[in-house]
Amino acid sequence: MRFAGIDVGTTSVKGLVIDETGTVVAEAEASYPLSTPRPGWAEQDPEDWWRATQQVLAELRGAGGAPIDGIGLTGQMHGLVVLGADDEPLRPAILWNDGRSQPQCDAVEARVGVERLVALSGNRALAGFTAPKLVWLAENEPETFEKIRHVLLPKDYVRFRLTGERVTDVADASGTLLLDVGARAWSPELLEVFGADAAWLPRVVESPEVSGYTQDGVPVAAGAGDQAAGALGMGVVDEQGPASIVLGTSGVVFAARDQYAPDPEGRLHAFCHAVPGAWHVMGVELSAAGALRWLRDATGGAEFGTLTAEAARWEPGVEGLRFAPYLSGERTPHADANVRAAFLGLDLRHDRGALTRAVLEGVAQGLADGWDLIDPKPTIGRFSGGGARSALWTDIVAATLDVPLERTASEAGAAFGAALLGGVAAGAFATVQDAVAACVHPTARTEPDPDLAAAYAQQRASFRALYPALKAADGQA
């Protein structure tokens, strides 16, 4: 049997097909544009997602000759897709990285209180989330708001076009601020807070459940948001197992939880997991490998391998040079969209390699801000993302978090986890855990170097002092 995973991302739809051992037998990708009509805004045409999905599925079905027996969906979280009475989008989708609704978030937290909001939703009100976008729409485009008949997330719009069903899963729905995450159901109280009509919302189910069928009868699993699906693809399924640590454009620390236990201050996200009856906590660093990409572009465009080779010539700590990685603001633990990055401690001796090493270390320390909040801590991390391909950065992260880091045989990310869910929906595996046991295979392992870990532990205090110092310098303390 073969199972497809479809990942509706911010820049493209990525798809793959795996067999019952987890071997990737086909891959395809189709890209589309991102619109930024104003500073801080990010929008896309949902029809672009559907066209790309059709292209990817056609390529996957034509590869290898064997049929696809199940499909799982994943994709960018938090995006707002609003449909009218004719089931057509009323406007472009407002995406996860759109910050226009920050005033609405501030107003909601002031009215409801952070403690009550976190107790219900597991999270603070962030501009990236779905519900604040609805409030923005009501206040700024009331004529559009009045026409809303359905609200969908990005991958769920693709599901609707694929199966005709309006369904979402508990993991992706957790990022809307409309779900009672502990009860795994839409919250009447949150719906009232954000002015949403329950009739607009899709049916919410567990991630491996069959949500509908394609025209040719292939079952489509409910799926999950990209972080939960990606963690599933890394084998992160329960509290006793490994954590997922992602060093992509953003950085993520992700741990499964057997019980719903949100951080009272909302510093960590608390979402339903793609594993039925489980939850997860997650810390997000907004600029991770993206910070290294910025440095590369700002210093002449050298290859990443050249930059990290130059960084390796410097000792840990870079003679007091520190980098605060807040190029796009920060989410965990500060929830501050306005703070910005900085180098501190620059000296005439510091060269491009020193700047690079400081970025590698600053990003690792930013990951540690989230890791420090996870309790109990997993004893192993499964490491993925573009930054995980660097041996030096892997050593730095392992030492900073003081945890062994494992790689897995597949680096296909969220699409791989979605394909596992497709396998459960197709009946090849009885449970998500069975799918993971059959298909997720750890390979390389990096142990934290004790001397390096000790050096970075000594630097924690100086790194943690950067954020309040930057806020004070900006007059916001």
By annotation, the residues acting in catalysis are 226
Nearest alpha-carbon partner for 85 in 19, 134, 146, 7:
146
- The answer to whether the bond into 325 is cis (omega within 30° of 0) is no
Q: How far apart are CA 110 and CA 106, in angstroms?
A: 6
- The CB-side HSE value for 342 (13 A sphere, CA atoms) comes to 14
8 A C-beta contact, residue 211 and residue 158:
no
3-state helix, strand, coil in the chain (%, to 5): 40, 25, 40
Give SS3 for 121. Answer: helix
CA–CA dist 128, 381 (Å, integer):
27
Q: What is the DSSP string of 238-302?
A: STTSPEEEEESSSEEEEEEESS----TT--SEEEE-SSTT-EEEEEEES-SHHHHHHHHHHTT--
Helices 391-401 + 304-311 axis angle, to 10 = 50
Residue 113 CB neighbour total at 10 angstroms:
11
Using alpha carbons, list the distances in angstroms from residue 157 to 80, 127, 202, 242, 297: 10, 21, 10, 32, 35
d(CA 455, CA 365): 12
How far apart, in whole angstroms, are the C-alpha atoms of residue 149 and residue 327?
38
CA distance 38 to 207: 35
Residue 82 has which token pair? 């609003």
